[in-house]
């Protein structure tokens, strides 16, 4: 399941063993292309990795905290710490390896 982050609150993601965060915005084309892929993976990784979607307009503090200067920015958190970060659209298989290898 894909969780939508509000009020700059990533608290739940930080307590998970492994979490995936998709920083995006409604006005960003590559983000819109990536969204359905993230949605599918959220289901496929159900129970293994927690998925979060962060709209940078609504959560500017988080964008600042993670140094997001270009979107989509994708971050894998392990025990609350950023373990891997990537920018831009990536196809589904590559995104899976990115999550698996983080």
Partner 1 sequence: MDIYDIAIIGTGPAGVSAAITAKVREKSVLLIGETKLSSKMRKAKEILNWPGAYGVSGEELADRLHDHLAAMGVNVTEDRITAVYDMGGSFTLQGKSGEMYTARTVILAMGVVSAKSIPGEDELLGSGVSYCATCDAPLYRGKTAAVIAWSPEEEREARFLAGIASKVWYLPMYKGDVSFDADNIAVIGGVPTAIERGRLITDQGTYDADGVFVLRESVAPAKLIYGLDTDGAHVVVDRDMQTSVKGVFACGDITGRPYQYIKAAGEGNVCALSCVKYLD
24 contributes a contact to partner 1 by CB under 8 A: no
Question: Containing H/E element for 82?
Answer: strand 81-87
Residue of 28, 63, 76, 99 with catalytic role: 28
29 contributes a contact to partner 1 by CB under 8 A: yes
Q: Which residues 6+ apart lie within 8 Å of 5 measured at CB?
A: 13, 21, 52, 53, 54, 55, 59, 62
Report the nearest approach of partner 1 to the CB of residue 32 (Å): 9
Structure tokens belonging to residue 66: 């993670």
Q: Which is nearer to partner 1, 10 or 68 (CB)?
A: 68
Instruction: Indicate if 67 belongs to the active site.
Output: no
User: Which residues belong to the active site?
Assistant: 28, 31
């Amino acid at each position: 399941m894909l969780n939508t982050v509000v009020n700059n609150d990533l608290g739940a993601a930080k307590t998970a063993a492994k979490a995936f965060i998709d920083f995006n915005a409604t006005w960003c084309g590559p983000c819109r292309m990536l969204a359905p892929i993230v949605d599918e993976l959220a289901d496929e990784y159900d129970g293994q990795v927690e998925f979060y979607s962060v709209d940078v307009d609504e959560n500017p503090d988080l964008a600042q905290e993670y140094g997001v200067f270009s979107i989509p920015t994708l971050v894998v958190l392990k025990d609350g710490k950023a373990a891997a970060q990537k920018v831009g659209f990536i196809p589904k298989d590559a995104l899976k390896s990115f999550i698996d290898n983080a």
